[in-house]
Amino acid sequence: MIQRDSLAQDLRARLRIPVMAGPMFIASTADLVIAQCKAGIIGSMPALNPRSTADLDRDIARISSTVGDTPYAINLVAHPSNSRLEADLEIVLKYKVPIVVLALAANPDLVARLQANGSLVFQDVAKNRHARKCAEMGVDGIIAVGSGAGGHTGGISPFALMAEIREWWDGLLLLAGAISTGRSVLAAECLGADLAYVGSPFLASSEANTQDAFKQMIVDCAADDVVVTDCFTGVPAMFLRPSLLAHGLDPSNLRRAEGKRVNIDGGGDNAKAWKEIWSAGQGIGAVRISGPAGDYIDWLAGDYAAARKAMGRN
Ligand SMILES: Cc1cc2nc3c(=O)[nH]c(=O)nc-3n(C[C@H](O)[C@H](O)[C@H](O)COP(=O)(O)O)c2cc1C
């Protein structure tokens, strides 16, 4: 059981480097979570990625029996449009999943129910006022999503966001957004983060459920190839320019179709986004090859050690 009163130290003691993987719609798989945990970081995936609640049950059984002491996380979309929420929640409770990342419309009852069952609850935020709401709900960890992050991105510089949140929050704080090198993990710590939260680099992993062409696009692209738009989901999200062009869309002239439903989870109207029109954050310039997630984490750990040494920290 992870200790709540010394949470940051307890989590870090179980990890090789202070990094948690961000869950990614469609892309994160049980194999990816296992590879991330085995390589010494917190692995994660959305509960909705397995096709059914029965598949989620099988996946979590496999993950929890494989990863030992390294914590893993499951992401639950706590929104009325998620018809699987109650059933998936039962599975998360059954396995006492160590960390649950809540997205959207989470409520204090859900947080309390998960915590009473032994899970830690994290929630991601893009603004200081959202962080305060999370703190009021009693979450164990706040994930600050700064500008440059993949998926539904943040619009605020990590320098500003971390300074605002750290002014009043002394609990567990993670930073997300274009973190893909060991040097940037160390920089996140300098800004006050206990852990860095890394998503996009894992899109190129062999264990990710991403097409070969998507993996190659992550290797080939850099920050300048990433476009932010609210035209697919109604909120700002990052998409790869070559992927937009491949679908006949003009990246400099994206507009939400008249009357289009705002849809956050990738279903319905915007099924094409995420699945066919690919998302990634600005940090992908550091991803040079596609291969096992463990190889990338080995490289990240080496780069982190070198950065610490260069900064005079051993
Ligand atoms: C393709 C893609 C899908 C994502 N899907 C989800 C998701 O389903 N749930 C979630 O909480 N975050 C999701 N995210 C956000 C990540 O968990 C994480 O916050 C983000 O990737 C961090 O920024 P980075 O990509 O620059 O490392 C997604 C990100 C990407 C790139």
pLDDT < 50 regions, the chain: 261-269
Q: Is 64 helix (H, G, I), strand (E, B) or coil?
A: helix
pLDDT of amino acid 279:
97
Query: Ligand 1, from 200, 228, 282, 284: best to mutate by most atoms within 8 Å of Cβ?
Result: 200
Q: 261 in a domain, yes or no?
A: no
pLDDT of amino acid 80:
84
Q: Is 224 helix (H, G, I), strand (E, B) or coil?
A: helix
Neighbours of 22 (CB within 10 A): 29
pLDDT of amino acid 267:
42
Tally of domains within the chain: 1
Residue pair 221/242 in contact (Cβ under 8 Å)? The answer is yes
User: Of ligand 1's atoms, which has the minimum distance to the CA of residue 179?
Assistant: 27
Q: Is 221 helix (H, G, I), strand (E, B) or coil?
A: coil
Q: 37 in a domain, yes or no?
A: yes
Which phi and psi angles does 293 have, rounded to 5°? -55, -35
pLDDT of amino acid 253:
86
Q: 120 in a domain, yes or no?
A: yes
Query: Ligand 1, from 25, 28, 81: best to mutate by most atoms within 8 Å of Cβ?
Result: 25
For residue 132, the CA-to-ligand 1 centroid distance in Å is 22
- Identify the residue whose C-alpha is closest to ligand 1 atom 30: 151
For residue 24, the CA-to-ligand 1 centroid distance in Å is 5
Query: Ligand 1, from 24, 101, 147, 161: best to mutate by most atoms within 8 Å of Cβ?
Result: 24
State the residue range of the domain holding 71.
17-209+305-310
Residues 156 and 74: their CA atoms lie apart, in Å, by 26
User: Residues 127-146, buried b or exposed e (16+ Cβ, 10 A)?
Assistant: bbebbbebbebebbbbbbbb
Distance of alpha carbon 13 from its chain centroid, rounded?
21
Q: 276 in a domain, yes or no?
A: no
For residue 314, the CA-to-ligand 1 centroid distance in Å is 31
Q: 272 in a domain, yes or no?
A: no
Token digits for 298? Answer: 């080995």
- Identify the residue whose C-alpha is closest to ligand 1 atom 5: 24
Return the amino acid letter for 126: A
User: Of ligand 1's atoms, which has the minimum distance to the CA of residue 178?
Assistant: 26
pLDDT of amino acid 261:
47
- Identify the residue whose C-alpha is closest to ligand 1 atom 4: 24
Return the amino acid letter for 206: S
For residue 301, the CA-to-ligand 1 centroid distance in Å is 21
Residues 113 and 36: their CA atoms lie apart, in Å, by 27
Residues 74 and 62: their CA atoms lie apart, in Å, by 13
Q: 287 in a domain, yes or no?
A: no
Residues 41 and 70: their CA atoms lie apart, in Å, by 7
- Identify the residue whose C-alpha is closest to ligand 1 atom 13: 24
Q: 88 in a domain, yes or no?
A: yes
For residue 100, the CA-to-ligand 1 centroid distance in Å is 15
Residue pair 166/2 in contact (Cβ under 8 Å)? The answer is no
For residue 79, the CA-to-ligand 1 centroid distance in Å is 17
Beta bridge partners of 45: 74
Q: 230 in a domain, yes or no?
A: no
Residues lining ligand 1, Cβ inside 6 A: 22-25, 27, 46, 75, 101, 103, 124, 145, 148-151, 176-179, 197-200, 279-281, 283
CATH at 205: 3.20.20.70
pLDDT of amino acid 101:
98
pLDDT of amino acid 270:
52
